[in-house]
Amino acid sequence: MRTFIIKANTTVTSPDFSLKDLPGTGGRIDLLCRFLNSAFLLSHGIRKDVRVFMTLYGKPNPPKTVHFEGPRLKVRLNPDERSTALILKRALKAGKDLRDPLKELEVFPGVYVSNMTFEDVIRRVMKDSSLYYLVEDGKPITEVRFPQNPAFILGDHIGLSKDDERFLEGIVEKVRVGRKSYLASHVVAFVNIWLDGIGHRNEKG
């Protein structure tokens, strides 16, 4: 199982955003739509061995965590942003009156909403996965041998805070792709393809 975790600093935590202006009214919820696209979609089908946690810290009720669980996923994930935004809208609507700090509400088969914090998500995922933090000063991904259940943590357009990074210290390995600063969805696309294996080197790995 591959896990992708993103902290979305500005993404709204209410369903009252407009499908006509996802970046503005949704606090960059368009970014999360492309993140899900990169994590799950293949040319003709879906990756069943992937799960995604997105922790939303925008107004008005942060935090909210939306979690997609590949092996249980039944809702149709289309490539376009708008249809994915509709799924997120439904999840945020269902999660509006949630009080419990950790309990997940299943909105569609395989899609959950909760009040989990970024730290709650990390604590949960590290129980069954090895954590990697994708960041510019990490080790080149080509030099890392990944275990069976890698979990990748990414920042959004703002990135993780100093506090977040302090929390991750000692429990993550820092990894990078490329030599520049990339959009989260591009990094996820790269990581997925890289882990599928490419050259002869990976065939033997």
Between 127 and 180, whose beta carbon lies closer to a second copy? Answer: 180
- Binding site membership for S-adenosyl-L-methionine: which residues? 134, 155
Give the whole-angstrom CA distance, residue 168 versus residue 173: 9
The tokens for 15 are 């369903």
Between 18 and 149, whose beta carbon lies closer to a second copy? Answer: 18
Give the whole-angstrom CA distance, residue 146 versus residue 195: 8
Between 39 and 125, whose beta carbon lies closer to a second copy? Answer: 39
Shortest CB 52 distance to a second copy, Å: 15
Shortest CB 1 distance to a second copy, Å: 17
Shortest CB 104 distance to a second copy, Å: 28
Between 4 and 112, whose beta carbon lies closer to a second copy? Answer: 4
Shortest CB 87 distance to a second copy, Å: 15
Give the whole-angstrom CA distance, residue 147 versus residue 23: 36
Helices marked H in 133-183: 162-168
Between 92 and 141, whose beta carbon lies closer to a second copy? Answer: 141
- Binding site membership: which residues? 134, 155
User: What phi and psi values does residue 101 have, to the nearest 5 degrees?
Assistant: -70, -25
Long-range contacts of range 167-170, CB-CB < 8 Å, 24 or more positions apart? 167/119, 167/122, 168/122, 168/131, 168/133
Within 10 Å of residue 143's Cβ, how many Cβ atoms?
A: 7
Give the whole-angstrom CA distance, residue 187 versus residue 176: 9
Interacting residue ranges for a second copy, rule: CB under 8 A: 19-23, 30-31, 34, 37-38, 41-44, 78-83, 140-143, 157, 176-183, 185-187, 189-190, 192-194, 196-202
Q: Do the Cβ atoms of 150 and 156 come closer than 8 Å?
A: no
Shortest CB 201 distance to a second copy, Å: 7
